[in-house]
Amino acid sequence: MAENKWTGKTFSVKELDKLIKEHGLLRPIAQILACRGISSENVKEFFNATLNELSSPYELPGTERASARLWEALRKDEHILIHGDFDVDGLTSSALLSWVLIECGANVSIFIPHRLDTGYGFTSESLDNALNVYKCNLLLTVDCGITSNEAVDRANELGIDVIITDHHEQASKLPTAHTIINPKIHPELKKLHCLAGVGTAFKLAHAFIKYGVDNGLVFKKIDLREVLDLVALGTVADIVPLMGENRILTKYGLKILSSQVRPGVRALCEITGVNASLKSTDVAFKLAPYINAAGRLGDPGAAYKLLNTTSIVEAIAQVKQLQDYNNQRRSKEKEIFEEAESQIYQTIKIHESYSILIYGYNWHQGVIGNVASRIARDYNRPTIVLTIIDGQAYGSGRSSANVNLVNILSGSDDILTRYGGHPMAVGLSLNPKDINLLKKRFEDSVSGVITPEDIIPQMDYDGDIYIPELDQKFFEELERLEPFGFGNLQPIFRLTNLSVPYAKNIGQGHSRGYLKDSNNYSIQFIAFNFSEDKLPKPPWDVLAVPQLNNYNGVMTPQLSIIDIKHSSG
Ligand SMILES: [Mn+2]
């Protein structure tokens, strides 16, 4: 396999000096901050990140008007219907707003569309399905609706006011809703563009309470910190950057999540083996897949019930259901991934291609997004995976090398029956007869914006570090940079010219041992997915994440190696 390209992030030496001198930071910590564009002026704000620093919810246009309409609904005892979405972001948004509204005495129902019935988001079809079950005068969308012009028109005809809360990109024309709350439709509100659907829903909840308090309508103490666990879940799962207000919301939300007050969270932590202080990686890799599995494979209502229940008995029952969905999800994904890999091998000259488009018949629609993610990552190329079901092709696209897939697909809107999403992740559908045409156009347009450099697997790191710098103080300061996740990645350092006095296989295909530098300082390492026979000849240069290994309560510094090369000098 070709070697990965390592790229040290660039930073200003002047800024690094300032961070060290003015804030007394350790050199490697200052370097991480400098690499991430955090200057000595805003480092204090970055470290503090307290809830007091959240902006007023009214800064997000529409929140005040929507709050007034919601309070009017309470006064008139109108029925409010929340139209959610089936992923973690949509489910947590629904649970958050319904809790806040119900606490204030509102009459609320929730409708979560099934992925396989009505497709994505708020549609005329999902509206009809919802109205079959619940009558309402006021409909509130969460994590969807910004492109639902037709559904909003239909609701208007039926005399239903629609409040949209969403964080997806708008189409050319906005729906004619009563109110639209979406940071992305306000170019000047850049600092709120990072919000997930649940962050946007939180803003509305915050505005609603503020409006109620200011107008003497709230007769009960409502503590919005109680819903920050939901905000953290949805924000981390939706892979929005953990910077700005997302950093504040997630930092506090993870604390609430860790306390496991919500029965559903407690049951979920129990079954996934997550305990003590929860990290964003636990959310991303353990909790979120369970919650998402319900929407992918079966009834997202089970996941909603889990988040919403106040009974631990009910929570345990729902979490078992989710475990079942998650096991099915895993096995289907594995099956499709293997088929996909063999199709790539047989039909695509990978070394001559900048993109990957593959399709299959009756591949489960709920898991092709995950398959596309894995292929895009493994092959480092923008990828579309399509499944043909009942004469229609449905697909998911995942990008790499920062190619904007929404832009790319807009060039093929003549053959797409539907498409939409984010620059890095899209959904689409088309007539199967057009697949080959789409494949050709996809390759042509991706190759127009990508360079051969872009498809070499690349690893970025936050500068060099030396073994003696990995002391207790370093790990204490490192902790203040959390939560790590998308947009504020776990720091990766390069260490060079290390000898390897000891290495052995552990588990299935991993290794462990220790490393020594030229001054005889040593440190232990763990290297996942590097079995002994895959290790290069010493001396080594490595890219690694410094961490504290907890062994029987004793914390020892170690390097979790993510890539190794033989040192050239
Ligand atoms: Mn979302």
Q: How far, in Å, is the centroid of ligand 1 from the Cα of 196?
A: 5
Distance from the first to the final alpha carbon of the chain: 22
Q: Which residues of 252-287 are buried (b: 16+ CB within 10 A; e: fewer)?
A: bbbebbbebebbbbbbbbebbebeeebbbebbbebb
Q: How far, in Å, is the centroid of ligand 1 from the Cα of 237?
A: 9
Q: How far, in Å, is the centroid of ligand 1 from the Cα of 286?
A: 18
Q: How far, in Å, is the centroid of ligand 1 from the Cα of 230?
A: 13
Report whether 108 contacts 80 (CB < 8 A): yes
Check residue 2 and give its pLDDT.
63
Q: How far, in Å, is the centroid of ligand 1 from the Cα of 37?
A: 26
The structure tokens listed for 441 are 């156009």
Report whether 509 contacts 553 (CB < 8 A): no
Q: How far, in Å, is the centroid of ligand 1 from the Cα of 92?
A: 10
Q: How far, in Å, is the centroid of ligand 1 from the Cα of 85?
A: 8
CB atoms inside a 10 Å sphere around CB 501: 11
Check residue 123 and give its pLDDT.
92
- Give the pLDDT confidence of 405-417 residue by residue, as tens digits: 999 999 999 999 9
Question: What pTM was estimated for this model as a whole?
Answer: 0.92
Q: How far, in Å, is the centroid of ligand 1 from the Cα of 289?
A: 15
Q: How far, in Å, is the centroid of ligand 1 from the Cα of 143?
A: 5
> Which class is domain 5-48+459-566?
mainly beta
The region of weakest confidence among 57-71, 107-121, 395-409, 503-517 is 107-121
Q: How far, in Å, is the centroid of ligand 1 from the Cα of 519?
A: 50
Q: How far, in Å, is the centroid of ligand 1 from the Cα of 240?
A: 9
Res. 24: pLDDT tops 70? yes
Res. 277: pLDDT tops 90? no
3-state secondary structure 131-181: HHHCCCCEEEECCCCCCCHHHHHHHHHCCCEEEEECCCCCCCCCCCCCEEE
Q: How far, in Å, is the centroid of ligand 1 from the Cα of 553?
A: 39
Res. 388: pLDDT tops 70? yes
Look up tokens 């083996």; give the residue.
273
Res. 387: pLDDT tops 90? yes
Q: How far, in Å, is the centroid of ligand 1 from the Cα of 167?
A: 7
Q: Is 481 helix (H, G, I), strand (E, B) or coil?
A: coil
Check residue 493 and give its pLDDT.
97
The structure tokens listed for 21 are 């001198």
Check residue 452 and give its pLDDT.
87
- Which amino acid makes up residue 151? A
Q: How far, in Å, is the centroid of ligand 1 from the Cα of 294?
A: 16
Band of the pLDDT at 119, cuts 50, 70, 90?
low
Band of the pLDDT at 298, cuts 50, 70, 90?
confident
Ranges of CATH 3.90.1640.30 domains, the chain = 53-223
Q: How far, in Å, is the centroid of ligand 1 from the Cα of 58?
A: 21
Name the nearest CA neighbour of 81 among 125, 126, 147.
126
> Which class is domain 348-455?
alpha beta
Q: How far, in Å, is the centroid of ligand 1 from the Cα of 147?
A: 14
Res. 558: pLDDT tops 80? yes
Q: How far, in Å, is the centroid of ligand 1 from the Cα of 365?
A: 18
Q: How far, in Å, is the centroid of ligand 1 from the Cα of 376?
A: 20
Rounded Cα distance, 71 and 356, in Å: 50
Q: How far, in Å, is the centroid of ligand 1 from the Cα of 122?
A: 13
Question: What is the chain's mean pLDDT, rounded?
Answer: 94
Q: How far, in Å, is the centroid of ligand 1 from the Cα of 44?
A: 30
Q: Could you tell me the CA-to-CA distances from 218 to 44, 99, 101, 200, 485 in Å, in that order? A: 35, 14, 11, 22, 36
Q: How far, in Å, is the centroid of ligand 1 from the Cα of 75?
A: 31
Q: Which residues of 130-161 are buried (b: 16+ CB within 10 A; e: fewer)?
A: bbeeeebebbbbbbbbbbbbebbebbeeeebb
Band of the pLDDT at 118, cuts 50, 70, 90?
low
Q: How far, in Å, is the centroid of ligand 1 from the Cα of 197?
A: 5
Rounded Cα distance, 25 and 22, in Å: 8
Q: How far, in Å, is the centroid of ligand 1 from the Cα of 558?
A: 36
The region that residue 134 occupies, defined by phi over 0 for left and psi between -120 and 50 for alpha, beta otherwise, is: beta
Ranges of CATH 3.10.310.30 domains, the chain = 348-455
Band of the pLDDT at 29, cuts 50, 70, 90?
very high
Check residue 100 and give its pLDDT.
97
Res. 116: pLDDT tops 70? no
Report whether 115 contacts 296 (CB < 8 A): yes
Architecture of domain 53-223: Alpha-Beta Complex (3.90)
Res. 203: pLDDT tops 60? yes
Res. 120: pLDDT tops 80? no
- Give the pLDDT confidence of 216-236 residue by residue, as tens digits: 999 889 999 999 999 999 999
Q: Give backbone dihedrals phi and psi of 90, rounded to 5 degrees, phi first.
A: -65, -35
Q: How far, in Å, is the centroid of ligand 1 from the Cα of 274?
A: 24
Which residues, other chains included, contact 403 with Cβ-Cβ below 8 Å and sequence gap of 6+?
Answer: 382, 446, 449, 450
Q: How far, in Å, is the centroid of ligand 1 from the Cα of 423?
A: 13
Q: How far, in Å, is the centroid of ligand 1 from the Cα of 121?
A: 10
Q: How far, in Å, is the centroid of ligand 1 from the Cα of 234?
A: 8
Look up tokens 């997930």; give the residue.
196
Q: How far, in Å, is the centroid of ligand 1 from the Cα of 291?
A: 14
Res. 368: pLDDT tops 90? yes
The structure tokens listed for 421 are 């999403």
Check residue 568 and give its pLDDT.
82
Check residue 473 and give its pLDDT.
95
* Run of H or E residues at 386: strand 383-389
Average pLDDT over residues 273-283: 89
Q: How far, in Å, is the centroid of ligand 1 from the Cα of 89?
A: 5
Check residue 299 and give its pLDDT.
87
Ranges of CATH 2.40.50.460 domains, the chain = 5-48+459-566
Q: How far, in Å, is the centroid of ligand 1 from the Cα of 24?
A: 39
Check residue 127 and give its pLDDT.
95
The structure tokens listed for 565 are 């090369």
Q: How far, in Å, is the centroid of ligand 1 from the Cα of 381?
A: 24
Q: How far, in Å, is the centroid of ligand 1 from the Cα of 493?
A: 32
Q: Is 483 helix (H, G, I), strand (E, B) or coil?
A: coil
Pairing label, strands 5-8, 138-141: unpaired
